[in-house]
A = this chain, B = another copy of it.
Amino acid sequence: MKKFINKPDDFVRESLEGLAAAHPDLVKVHYDPTFVYRADAPVNGKVAIISGGGSGHEPMHTGFVGMGMLDAACPGEVFTSPTPDQMLEAAKKVDGGAGILYIVKNYSGDIMNFEMATELARTDGIRVLSILIDDDVAVKDSLYTQGRRGVGTTVLAEKICGAAAQQGYDLQRLADLCRRVNLNGRSMGIALTSCTVPAKGTPTFELGHDEMEIGIGIHGEPGRQRLSVKSADEMTEMLALSMIEDSPYSRTMREWDENQGEWVDVELIDPLLEQGDKLLAFVNSMGGTPISELYIVYRKLAEICEKKGLQIVRNLIGPYITSLDMQGCSITLLKLDDEMIQLWDAPVKTTSLRWGV
């Protein structure tokens, strides 16, 4: 294994120490339990947004802490869920009195631990709602997931909801917005190589020198199929059409009902993409694919969307939700409305996404 690391056990902590050393004006890091938080937290009267998950997907989530996005991020060990005490202590630190929204990716460990943190926070008198992201159209049920995995839409939900919180949305309205972003977003990825988890030191899976895995998960979970490598245009088409032609996806989600004071099951269905829809197109590197190749993917994606009568009105292109050093890319298409566009354009100041300030 060749990486810029010292001891594999110190990978997450040392990377966070570097982040803190580089950006003291933007973020601080609390250790034991570990979380990254806005240097100016808590922001009084603002709903605080917290996300988290296994490390290895940087800049998500730690790179998205700051004005107009996350108030805190809770990084677990590589590809390992953070623990409830991380989320609880983060909530206490950033609570500005208007409640907390947890944005959680749909992986069993994350769900369990965020639910536990939610219960603990409520016991401490903090209002908490949480929204699950499950946008990966590749497979239903996966290695660590019942239902669809949570991937690229998470980044977009964090930006859009972060702006909304900054603009004064209350907790329930923010949760409703986040749910809507999730339902309107869909993603899919392709791996050209495996990633290598530092603690293991060898590739998570084996791919032949001319093979790719379509529908890869961000922890290297198996996708739909393994094929010989295609051209960029063909690969882009496979991803794009899987999303554009995705049939209505419905699932039952467990959400906290504040009025009833209990967990309830809600039935949720993704709206279909239709001619004339406005989209945010997000072309993401899995970590090892350079931006020059992402633009080749974007080129074809724009062509496909145009043919389908879909208008890309915003885009994001770069490494934002990665899988360590994996070569590959994912595409996320988010169906936008005017509210989401305004929130997307709003100022953001984090270590990895920044504009307007």
Interface hub of A290, A315, A352 (most chain B Cβ within 10 A): A290
> 0/1 per residue, A67-79, Cβ < 8 Å to B?
0000000000000
Q: Give this chain's copy count.
A: 2
Q: Which residues of A8-63 are within 8 A (CB) of B?
A: 11, 14-19, 21-22, 55-56, 58-59, 63
A293: interface (CB < 8 Å): yes
Q: Which chain B residues lie closer than 8 Å to A296 at the CB level?
A: 4-6, 11, 14-15, 18
Rounded to whole angstroms, the CA-CA distance of A352 and B292 in the bound complex is 12
A21 in complex: contacting residue of B11, B232, B302, B325, CB < 8 Å? B302
Q: Which chain B residues lie closer than 8 Å to A289 at the CB level?
A: 3-4, 325
Q: Which chain B residues lie closer than 8 Å to A302 at the CB level?
A: 18, 21-22
Check if B324 sits within 8 Å of A290, measured CB to CB: yes
Check if B291 sits within 8 Å of A193, measured CB to CB: no
A325 and B288 in contact, given A19-B295, A232-B5, A319-B319 (Cβ under 8 angstroms): yes
A212 and B2 in contact, given A302-B22, A357-B355 (Cβ under 8 angstroms): yes
Q: Which chain B residues lie closer than 8 Å to A291 at the CB level?
A: 58-59, 63, 319, 322, 352
Rounded to whole angstroms, the CA-CA distance of A283 and B96 in the bound complex is 35
Q: Which chain B residues lie closer than 8 Å to A209 at the CB level?
A: 2
Q: Which chain B residues lie closer than 8 Å to A84 at the CB level?
A: none
